[in-house]
Structure 1
Amino acid sequence: MFNWEYLDRFCFISNEGTFKYNIYYPMNFELQSIYMYYDTDNQWKAIYNNNSLSCNDKERILDPKNYQIIRLSPSAKFIDEQSNCEIINKNNNESWYHCFGKRSFFSMRPRWWYFAIGNCDTQNGLYLEYYLLMTNSNNKTNHLLKNRKMLHITFRLFFHSIFCELIASTLLWMHYDNYAENGQGMPLLKFFSMILRQFSIVLFVLLLFLIGKGYTITRAKISICSSIKIIFFISTYFILKLLMLAWEIIIFDPAQITYMSESIPAYCIIYLNIFGWLWFLRCSWVTTKKYPLKKRFYMFWSSPIILLIANFILDNWVREEIIQGVDSAIINIANQQNNFPNNVYEVQYIAQPTLQNN
């Protein structure tokens, strides 16, 4: 029967180290306790994987003066007012303990702390549902966007676009690095990098349309008509991007054509970019009436201009080199926009009926 179990560990390195706990367990498993050991030979190293020690032996190693034991019971004495235990009804009116609180850690050097749960008098073993949070930062700044319900779909699109572009740039670098050595490179890596880059661009264009519409900025819902238009545009845009790649592989004559932008799908993408840019400006203009601090994004209109310059001004022997560099630079600049003014919480556009009534 297990009456002592390891939970987690954390290295507290600053004077602002904080340990927070939120634990639920049935009353018939009382009295459970949290044990906190630090990384010395006479504490954690002395008790872990030492089968000769009982649960009581592992508890006696801890110094009560250091408050290294937290009794999870309403009758226990806590060293701060923010810690408490209460009895609640859970799972068909079964009585449970709910214990929550925090501890602060101060030390002269970074130190590993190990957390365990135990009940040395139990005949039933251990059972608990727990949440532990260990931080070294100020509590006011350690919240993640997901915990704050700020991980919007626009942020997720942005992250996915960044990820695809990062992988594409890495593969492209590997190809050209090898190309500089043997004159052949790795065509397969270059092909996959081009596909991932198109995914990145399409996701970013979709992100711009959602921002232009004010989604998660000034509104929690996009109309059905606008959603259909965006889906149709993005689908067409993505298909043309893939056709441009396929055109280069299947139809291109390398004796006459030097870059994939010299194709019918590429010219269709130019017109589609111009149309999308005008539509984006109109959406942004409408949205800025409600949100005047919103900034413009300049990446969207750059693509048709770059393609026109590449096809009609640049010499063909420098075309691909310059386009790849400029394209990578523009995508990098566009993804580093400092103003990303999301001010609608995720729960606000999940609960759409409530938002509409308000």
Structure 2
Amino acid sequence: MEPPRAPALRRLLPPLLLLLLSLPPRARAKYVRGNLSSKEDWVFLTRFCFLSDYGRLDFRFRYPEAKCCQNILLYFDDPSQWPAVYKAGDKDCLAKESVIRPENNQVINLTTQYAWSGCQVVSEEGTRYLSCSSGRSFRSGDGLQLEYEMVLTNGKSFWTRHFSADEFGILETDVTFLLIFILIFFLSCYFGYLLKGRQLLHTTYKMFMAAAGVEVLSLLFFCIYWGQYATDGIGNESVKILAKLLFSSSFLIFLLMLILLGKGFTVTRGRISHAGSVKLSVYMTLYTLTHVVLLIYEAEFFDPGQVLYTYESPAGYGLIGLQVAAYVWFCYAVLVSLRHFPEKQPFYVPFFAAYTLWFFAVPVMALIANFGIPKWAREKIVNGIQLGIHLYAHGVFLIMTRPSAANKNFPYHVRTSQIASAGVPGPGGSQSADKAFPQHVYGNVTFISDSVPNFTELFSIPPPATSPLPRAAPDSGLPLFRDLRPPGPLRDL
């Protein structure tokens, strides 16, 4: 099937191979089979981008001779073809067929009169069938009935055979990023080991290690899915769903870590106020539920004839909105932390600048994907950009928290075994929980061990002190609390 020789289509043929409105999960692969029975006279079946000179469609169709005659229509992803007819309720079957050009071999007539379709009449149990071997979109006066089996391929290479042209390179990209993230995870574990030996392994760093580890698992399952898909053209949808769940989990852990650091948790204080913990809980619950809804929406409601990537959906737009809201919160938290602790500028200024780019990367990626990337290349490019965004986020944090004497951005300065309350007594002897913390001292902390992250105490408020806190001598210039045993100089790695 040779496309029109327009310059943009010379090397790549990106038609939408139309046909069936709803398919079982395995029909998403490039080996599709099923049994269609519909009262409609024009039905979408599947989508595949062929490479010119390499793309091939092998098919087998069978339908009752009484339903004759049915056609297969192959549409190009040109504004005058597929977008002009799909979801066009004002056009009947003939109008939808009229936009294609038969001279480009875009019509396959499933009758014995069309030799290329390979059709012949066979009889089974007194019923005559037309059995054909080639492709499919149908035209009939009283609905459609068809058994179909298709193998859609692009060349013979393991890396391209079963892949649509817009999926080329996804497997190689995922394998590359898997190796890079494995390196990042092991480096984070090594740095964590060094920090633990110095009693500086705080909860936020453990969250970073967890996010990197879950990212590795996600990419591993993506590679397993695409590897199987490359082998049999079907893949395992359960593995792909698991990979997406892990990918979302890694993102959520990392996002929570950023907001906590922005609020000063483990950097300028050891507790989050009650109001802050409630807001965080509500926000992260909402974000998690939106991710789950997005996965369900994608599995159940995404139209394979229209939607080409995740953010082209209401749930995707909702995630973008939540991302923007998280950035506003992040900005406010960082500015408050800097106002109370200007000595933390070496960490917070580059931290804020780096992750401002990260927060806006997803909305910008969505805009670019919608308006700046051709549809036939969108999926593979978006996949690479998305993984690159995750790599940027993890790589920046790994560099900023490396335990090296040359690292002026290192955020942690209090040992996990030295954390003590340092609130300033307010009127009536009450403690002001989150204000005026001295340099390198936390506000309210009860963590006394570094062996296991105490997530149950992450956002709780400690009980009021039973005895008055010691105070510095008037005008002594000394902080209310300070470290009596400083961690000592950092070592160069």
| TM-score normalized with structure 2 length | 0.41
SS, match of residue 375 in structure 2: coil
Q: Secondary structure at the match of 1:350?
A: coil
SS at match of 1:342: coil
Which stretch of structure 1 is more off in the superposition, 230-239 or 202-211? 230-239
Q: 2:362 aligns with which of 300, 303, 319?
A: 303
Who is 1:9 aligned against? none
Counterpart of 2:373 in structure 1 is 314
1:238 and 2:288 aligned: yes
Look up the match of 2:117.
none
Change (3 A) 1:142 1:182: closer
Question: What is the CA distance between 1:177 and its match in structure 2?
Answer: 2.6
**Cα drift, residue 206 of structure 1:** 0.1
Q: Is the 8 A contact 1:165 1:197 kept in 2?
A: yes
Q: Residue type matched to 2:217 in 1?
A: I
Paired residue for 1:126?
none
Seen in structure 2, the aligned counterparts of structure 1 residues 244 and 146 have a Cα distance that, compared at 3 Å, is same
> By how many angstroms is 1:170 displaced?
1.1
For the 8 Å contact 1:171–1:190, the answer to whether it is kept is: yes
Q: Map of 1:105-254 to 2, 5 A cutoff?
A: 144-254=194-304
Matched, 1:325 2:387: no
CA shift in 2, pair 1:159/1:143, >3 Å: closer
RMSD, aligned CA: 2.3
Whole-Å separation in 2 of the counterparts to 1:247 and 1:143: 41
- What is the one-letter code of the residue matched to 1:307? A
Deviation at 1:142, TM superposition (A): 11
Contact (CA 8 Å) 2:338, 2:345: kept in 1 or not?
yes
Among candidates 326, 346, 370, match of residue 293 of structure 1: 346
| Mapped partners of 2:372, 2:192: distance in 1 | 51
- Structure 2 counterpart of 1:161, one-letter code: A
CA contact (8 A) 1:205 1:300 kept: no
CA shift in 2, pair 1:267/1:218, >3 Å: same
The percentage of aligned residue pairs carrying the same residue is: 29
- Range moving further from structure 2, 151-160 or 300-309: 300-309
Q: 2:202 touches 2:416 (CA, 8 Å); kept in 1? A: yes
The alignment partner of 1:318 has SS state of helix
> CA offset at residue 155 of structure 1?
1.2
Please give the secondary structure, in 2, of the residue aligned with 1:194. Answer: helix
CA-to-partner distance for each residue in 1:191-231, whole Å, 9 max, x for gaps?
11100000000000000001100111111221111111111
The 5 A counterparts of 1:9-88 are none
Question: Distance in 2 between the 1:239 and 1:171 partners?
Answer: 22
Q: Deviations over 1:60-100 (max 9, x none)?
A: xxxxxxxxxxxxxxxxxxxxxxxxxxxxxxxxxxxxxxxxx
Alpha carbons of structure 1 residues 350 and 274: separation in structure 2 relative to 1, 3 Å: same
Number of the residue aligned with 1:345: 415
Secondary structure at the counterpart of residue 173 of structure 1: helix
**Partner residue, 1:276:** 326
Amino acid at match of 2:246: L
Flag the 1:235–1:344 CA change in 2: closer, same or farther, 3 A. farther
| Distance across 2 between alignment mates of 1:334 and 1:146 | 23
User: Which has a greater percent of strand?
Assistant: 1
Distance 1:226 1:143 in 2: 31
Unaligned runs of 5+ residues in structure 2 are: 1-190, 402-410, 420-444, 448-461, 470-480, 482-493
For residue 288 of structure 1, report the CA deviation from its aligned partner. 2.5
In 2, Cα distance between equivalents of 1:239 and 1:153: 24
CA deviations on 1:40-59 (whole Å, 9 max, x unpaired) are xxxxxxxxxxxxxxxxxxxx
CA deviation digits over 1:116-159, x for unaligned, max 9?
xxxxxxxxxxxxxxxxxxxxxxxxx9974334332211011111
| Distance across 1 between alignment mates of 2:369 and 2:293 | 19
- The answer to which structure, 1 or 2, has the higher relative contact order (CA under 8 A, 6+ apart) is 1
CA distance in 2, matches of 1:190, 1:231: 28
Give the deviation of 1:301 after TM superposition: 2.4
Deviation per CA, 1:142-189: give whole Å up to 9, x if none: 974334332211011111111110011111122223333333233222
Q: Which is further off, 341-350 or 272-281?
A: 341-350
Moved over 6 A (4+): none
Residue 254 of structure 1 aligns to a residue whose secondary structure is coil
